[in-house]
């Protein structure tokens, strides 16, 4: 079976913008493959408000370390699911509803 792709200089390129769309989906699903990150996204989406990193620790589990929360936020930010903002010494996190609604329509409500 022939793939609908073009190999150029060792890199695979896909026509019609599929590379960007598929790469985004893969990144999102990898980010959501962790139970803690899925819970963060689901809770932020349902509340629809900005949350501090300290509050996120309580959402996931009481014994979660600050380093673990930072790691989860980094992965979610790289996938484009959240944005972060520094307010004083605290960091706040907000869900990107536009991205969630575009790539995961109805998925979070089904979980």
pLDDT at 20: 62
pLDDT at 14: 43
Which residue(s) pair with 1 in the sheet?
Answer: none
Q: 2-54 pLDDT, tens per residue? A: 444 444 444 544 444 434 678 888 889 999 999 889 989 988 888 888 888 87
Q: Which residues contact 78 (CB under 8 A, 6 or more apart)?
A: 27, 31
Predicted TM-score (pTM) of this structure:
0.74
DSSP-assigned states of every residue in 38-57: HHHHHHHHHH-S-EEHHHHH
pLDDT at 92: 92
Q: 55-107 pLDDT, tens per residue? A: 887 777 767 788 888 999 999 999 999 999 998 888 899 999 888 888 888 87
Overall fold of domain 35-110: Arc Repressor Mutant, subunit A (1.10.10)
């Amino acid at each position: 079976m022939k793939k609908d792709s073009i190999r150029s200089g060792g890199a695979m390129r896909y026509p019609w913008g599929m590379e960007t769309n598929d790469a985004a989906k893969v990144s999102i699903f990898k980010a959501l493959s962790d139970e803690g990150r899925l819970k963060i996204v689901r809770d932020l989406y349902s509340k629809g408000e900005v949350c501090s990193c300290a509050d996120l620790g309580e959402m996931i589990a009481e014994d979660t370390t600050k380093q673990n929360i930072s790691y989860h936020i980094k992965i979610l930010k790289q996938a484009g699911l959240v944005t972060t903002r520094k307010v004083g010494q605290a960091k706040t996190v907000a869900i990107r509803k536009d991205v969630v609604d575009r790539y995961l329509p109805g998925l979070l409500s089904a979980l």
